[in-house]
């Protein structure tokens, strides 16, 4: 059984980002910059944003965070997103989700410059993903694909099952797995709350990606022997212990490869955010330099 080490792979990705940043600074005279908009006091979001700031510092990326009160009006958030999108000093923009109610996150995301959308959630980037055109990809599923390639776990010609249909993970994950390429070309089934027999679907999967947010939902009897199991879930169990959507202790005995929680997919999300920020910077700067 292969224990997929997301910490190790993420560290290598971030080291590559650091080298890219140094090269781009020499070429263009400045480092890439990332703007994060954080609204409210959600504890998980606070931790995630601090981790992003730390990762930026290590990579040499300039990071700026706008912290807004939870009572901030929709118009103010939208105005800020537009201002950051038009700023020449900002290369990547990220609105930390979820936004406090009653703020409308979809409206904010649609106002973002798609060239700066480092989360890959703008409709244009979603469309580019579906058409297999170059663009900024959602960080968590992109991180999963990077892990599969790193460990030479190709889903080509295999059956993949994605548990969850969120816009952040499930849907883009399904598109990436079914796209053309040596580490894609899977036949993909997406399961959700209305799927009649989820356990049956899981047992038929050669690659099982779990992203539903339910602690230890997937048990040993739901996994095909030899399957690759990717656990995107990040939950707290009844004892407050961090765990995934997969019952790791049971499933590891039947899987051929599995990601732990923590230390699996989680570190890859921020690593791919750094990759997206560098790509957004490079594409923008090359566009400016090539303009007549």
Binding annotation for NADP(+): 164-166
Q: Enumerate residues 6+ apart whose C-beta is below 8 A from 84.
A: 35, 37, 66, 90, 93, 116
- Please tell me which residue in 52, 116, 171, 224 is annotated as part of the active site: 52
- Please tell me which residue in 20, 113, 117, 119 is annotated as part of the active site: 119
* Alpha carbon distance 270, 26 (integer Å): 24
State the DSSP string of the chain: -EE--HHHHHHHHHHHHHHHHHHHHHHHSS--EEEEEEES--HHHHHHHHHHHHHHHHHT-EEEEEEE-TT--HHHHHHHHHHHHH-TT--EEEE-SSPPTT--HHHHHHHS-GGGBTT--SHHHHHHHHTT-S-PPPHHHHHHHHHHHHTT---TTSEEEEE---TTTHHHHHHHHHSSSTT---EEEEE-TT-TTHHHHHHT-SEEEE-S--TT-B-GGGS-TT-EEEE---EE-TTS-EE-SB-HHHHTTT-SEE--SSSSSHHHHHHHHHHHHHHHHHHHHHHHHH--
Is 119 a catalytic site residue?
yes
- Please tell me which residue in 96, 206, 224, 245 is annotated as part of the active site: 96
Is 52 a catalytic site residue?
yes
Residues annotated as part of the active site:
52, 96, 119
């Amino acid at each position: 059984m292969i224990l997929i080490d997301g910490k190790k792979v993420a560290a290598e990705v971030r080291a590559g980002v650091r080298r890219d940043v140094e090269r781009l600074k020499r070429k263009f005279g400045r480092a890439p910059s990332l703007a994060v908009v954080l609204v409210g006091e959600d504890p998980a979001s606070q931790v995630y944003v601090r981790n992003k700031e730390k990762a930026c510092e290590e990579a040499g990326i300039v990071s700026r965070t706008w912290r807004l009160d939870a009572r901030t009006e929709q118009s103010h958030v939208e105005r800020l997103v537009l201002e950051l999108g038009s700023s020449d000093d900002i290369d990547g923009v990220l609105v930390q989700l979820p936004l406090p109610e009653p703020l409308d996150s979809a409206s904010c995301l649609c106002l973002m410059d798609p060239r700066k959308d480092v989360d890959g959630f703008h409709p244009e980037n979603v469309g580019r993903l579906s058409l297999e055109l170059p663009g900024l990809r959602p960080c968590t599923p992109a991180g999963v694909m990077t892990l599969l390639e790193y460990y030479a776990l190709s889903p080509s010609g295999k059956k993949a099952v994605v548990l969850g249909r969120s816009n952040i993970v499930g849907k883009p994950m399904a598109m990436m797995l079914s796209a053309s390429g040596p580490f894609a070309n899977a036949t993909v089934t997406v399961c959700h709350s209305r799927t009649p027999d989820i356990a049956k679907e899981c047992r038929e999967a050669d690659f099982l990606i779990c992203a539903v947010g339910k602690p230890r939902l997937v048990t040993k009897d739901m996994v095909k022997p030899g399957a690759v199991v990717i656990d995107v879930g990040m939950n707290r169990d009844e004892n407050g212990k961090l765990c995934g959507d997969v019952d790791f202790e049971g499933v590891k005995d039947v899987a051929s490869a599995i990601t732990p929680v923590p230390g699996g997919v989680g570190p890859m999300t921020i690593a791919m955010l750094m990759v997206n920020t560098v790509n957004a910077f490079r594409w923008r700067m090359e566009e400016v330099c090539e303009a007549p």
